[in-house]
Amino acid sequence: MFTTLIRADVALADDPPPGPPPPPTTPAPRFRRRPYANRDGREGVPDITGDPRLRQLVVDNAELAEDREVREAAAAALAGTDQDIMVFLNTGLDEAKARAQARKQEEARQNLAACQALRGTGGPLFNAEVERVFAGTDSDRVGFLLYGVEVYRALDDKATADARTRADQLRGRVTVLAASAGPEVQRTAQEALNAGDAAIAEYLRAGYQAAARLDAEQREQEIRDQEARERAAEELSDLAKRAALASQARQRLLVAHGNGVRALEKAANAVVLAGNEARRAEQILAANNAGGTHPADSFTAVKAETARQLANARTAATEAETAATQATVEANILVEVNLPYGAPSELRWPGA
C-alpha cells in the first residue's frame, strides 16, 4: 500500500492539469423481460426409456449384486415394463440397498447377542474363542455361529477325554508300583493313590524317585550286612568263597536292575512326551481345518520334538537291553555257585 501511494503522488505531480469533463453517456435502452413458459424439465432431454443398456444394468444387478434385496428388486423390475426398470434405476436400487443395510445391521445385532449368551458356557477353548469373536468383527461372529460353536465344543470335549485317559494311565502305573516295588515305594505310592489324580502326577514327577532311592539304599545296606556276616562265618570255607562270588554277583545284579529300571522309566517318559506331541499335532490340524488354512511350518516344531523323544526312547530301550544282559550274566553266576538268592525270578520290576 505504501508503494502505491508514492506512485500516485508522482503521477499527480507530473501529469498535466485535467481538461473539461467528458459529456454524459447515453443510457442503454431497456428491454422488457418476457416471462418464461412453464417447463417440466424434460424439454430438450431425449427419452431413453427402453434403452437396452439400462436393461442390462438391471440384469447385472439381478445376477451379480451381493445383497439379496437388490437382486430381488432388480428381478422384479425385469419382470415388469420399461417404466419399472427406470423406477428401479432412479429410486428402487437405493431403496433395496437401504433395506439390505438395515437387514445386515439387525443380523449383526442378533449375532452379537447370540455370542453374548454363549460367554462362559463351555470349556477353556470354547470360552476363549467366544471372547475373541465377541470382541472381533461381524464376520468373525458369523463364522463362529455357523460352525465354530460345534468345533470348539468338540475340542474341549476331546481335551477333557484326553486328560481323563492320561490320568487313568498314571493311576495304573502307580498301582503297579504300590503292589510290586520296595517298601518305601509301596507306601508312598499308596498314599498318592489315596490322594487323587493331582497327587499321582506329582508323585510320578518327583516322589517316586526319592522313594526308590531310599529302597535302593536299604537294599544295599542289607546286602552289605549280609556280606559281612558271610565273610565272618565262612571266610576259609568253600561256602565263603562261593558266597563272596554270589555277593559280588548280587551287587552287580542290583546295579543292573537299577539301570534297567531307570532305562525303562526314561523310555516310558519319552513315549509319553511323544504321545503329547502327537496330540498337539492333532490339535493344530483341527485348528487349521477350522480356520481353513494349513501353513507349511505348522508341524515343524511338533515333528522335531516327536523325533527327539522317539530317539530318547530308542536310546533308553538299548540301555534297558544292556542292563538285562548284564543281569543275566550275574544271575548265571549265582546259579553256578549254588546261591541263587536275588536272581531275576525274585526281583519285581515296575510295570512287570
Instruction: Tell me the helices (H) and strands (E) count for the chain, helix number first.
Output: 13, 0
pLDDT score at 280: 80
First to last CA, the chain: 112
| Among the ranges given (3-12, 180-189, 211-220), the one the predictor scored with the smallest mean pLDDT | 3-12
pLDDT band at 154 (very low <50, low <70, confident <90, very high): very high
- Overall pTM > 0.95: no
pLDDT band at 32 (very low <50, low <70, confident <90, very high): low
24: cell is 454524459
pLDDT score at 17: 56
pLDDT score at 3: 37
pLDDT in tens, 117-145: 888 888 899 999 899 998 888 888 988 88
pLDDT in tens, 75-112: 999 998 889 899 999 998 999 999 999 988 998 999 88
The kind and range of the H/E element at 36 are none
pLDDT higher for 8 or 320?
A: 320
pLDDT score at 347: 46
pLDDT in tens, 208-247: 888 888 889 888 988 988 888 888 877 767 776 777 777 7
CA 179 from chain centre, in angstroms, equals 40
pLDDT above 70 covers a percentage of the chain that reads 81
CB burial readout 312-346, b (16+ within 10 A) else e: bbeebbebbeebbebbeebbebbeebebbebbbee
The kind and range of the H/E element at 243 are helix 238-291
pLDDT at 44 over 80: no
pLDDT band at 342 (very low <50, low <70, confident <90, very high): low
